[in-house]
Amino acid sequence: MFDPVIAKTKHAAGTAGIGLIASFALCIGLGFWTLAAWMFLLTQTTPLNAAIILAAVYTGAGLIGFGVVSSRKRSHIQHQPPATATVDSLMSAFMTGVKAGSSTRR
């Protein structure tokens, strides 16, 4: 009964852990890339144009990242169909419960 919930939780935890580590590394790398790009663009153009170019690059990368995350599928999680109960098994369970309840009253 709880296997699908546990599988979804493990998948979410793995995704969050990988995302956290990747985000940290990406932030450090982007800091250095931004500094290098800023220095290069200042030698080629004005500071305003350099800022606009870097803003466009980061906005585009962010939108692409959101698109990739939203298209991620959970196809590897196997869903098991719920167990089907027959009338005999339900009556047996009911009688077991009634018997257990009556034995506690004695």
The dihedral over CA atoms of 26, 33, 65, 18, expressed in degrees to the nearest 10, equals: -10
pLDDT tens readout for residues 46-62: 999 999 999 999 899 88
Buried b (16+ CB within 10 A) or exposed e, 20-43: eeeeeeeeeeeeeeeeeeeeebee
Please report, as a single letter, which amino acid is at residue 98. Answer: V
Q: What is the pLDDT along the chain (106 residues), one digit of tens a residue?
A: 778 888 888 888 888 888 899 989 988 998 998 999 999 999 999 999 999 999 999 899 889 988 888 887 766 666 666 667 788 888 888 888 888 888 876 5
pLDDT score of 15: 87
Alpha helices in the chain (DSSP H): 3-44, 47-70, 87-105
- Average pLDDT across the chain, whole number: 85
Distance CA 32, CA 36 (A): 6
Distance CA 25, CA 28 (A): 5
